[in-house]
Structure 1
């Protein structure tokens, strides 16, 4: 499978180029920070508009990963919707699309800071999900091992032969993984931010998303190669 293979707590995992995480032994796909309905929320609040296709684009990429992996379990790791109202006001076609993706699968919505309450879109809703030896939650907590989280939308900056490149990225060390945001309209936190450098060990790697998953030492500044 095209991706970056590694182990966490003795468990073989694959960071996919899309930003999804795949656990083959459990046939489990995990994505974080979809932020579905962001364009709708901004329009509702009178903020500068965004082209209203981000939910369709995000669901298209998620469907592609589900077809590629055949995952039987999906964990959405929080902030799946830009707010609770965005979940309720998704167009009917997009609600039906989500129901189609859920059909025949175990589907778990982990609560995030944007979507803390239950949503009426099928699947289970949990604060966090232990699947020993791993633990899935939205926001990382210092001192925990085997933890898979999101929330921070990590990104890295690279300087490659005189040109600059930035990409969303997984951050991985021996204790935890922080997933990049999977959603189309999402910003990010640079990997050299004190919040992220404080969570990740010195030997952490960043796995860039894009055409292929590519690992570099986690930049604590601009990475040069």
Structure 2
């Protein structure tokens, strides 16, 4: 069986390696490793002209929208909270275009953390701009349990309560059109969303690339095969 090609959106940051300090399109190594361990081939998708998104997605078997900075509140009609981070406008524009192209074409889609939030925004939803308790220490992933909602695609993949790696201060508020909640945290925070129907569209608020559970990514890779 041919391994499916899974595109993963990237950060666009100033980075250092060796003697160099340069602008870089980069991903934490956990993302491609997770795709590979689930049976896919990972391809990095750095920010590009949003008008090219549909042709890029047409070459993919599946799409992952990675974590990263806060979504600019103007994207969902809100004023920025003082605790909301600086905008990443190139990423917002590119990744929203990728999501729209994947939804239009039926390409299997997984949103991770920021990616789930962007999926919600792409479908007309809004975000809570600041919450406590899901990023306990700067630069350190925590763990907390999430509970699946019975009957959802996520629950079919992970039927039990499980501890997940987490690091975020924003979350889904009003759900985007068609989305349903498929997991939640003990405090009620929406931890996973999905679109019911024949297409495979799932978002998770946590960071599966920082843990050892490959079941969600395997679900994407199976759908993309």
TM-score if structure 1 supplies the norm length? 0.32
Q: Which of the pair is proportionally richer in helix?
A: 2
TM-score if structure 2 supplies the norm length? 0.32
